[in-house]
Amino acid sequence: MAIHLTGLSNQSTINKSERSQKDDATVSTTEKQSSVKNGGTLAEDTVKLSGTAQTLQNQHSKIGNLPDVDMEKVEQIKSAIAAGEYKIDTQKLANNMASMDSLF
């Protein structure tokens, strides 16, 4: 379907009947190209993913199956806190807080 936007093209304006004739010719050609010779049914669309896309899709599904929280690590930290063995690197903590602050 032809669309004419004022000021965006140097095409001459066509009237409605001319546009309909052009659209009908385009649709007829498109239908001929996309129909299958066995009974005139339209061919089905198919998509083939590249190897990279397949790998990304597989990795995405694997990541989706991972839990949001690493409960094993949480239990290790809980145990270390309970035993009084959990050490906090205050310098590293301060640096990380400062770097986070600079983002805002």
More confident residue, 9 or 94: 94
Q: pLDDT tens across 29-45, in order?
A: 555 555 545 556 677 88
From the CA atom positions of the chain, what is the Rg in Å? 32
pTM, whole model, 2 decimals? 0.35
Provide the pLDDT for residue 84: 94
Tell me the torsion sign for CA atoms 72, 75, 81, 85: negative
Mean pLDDT of 11-31: 54
Q: pLDDT tens across 54-78, in order?
A: 899 899 999 988 888 999 999 999 9
User: Quick count: other Cβ atoms within 10 Å of Cβ 19?
Assistant: 15
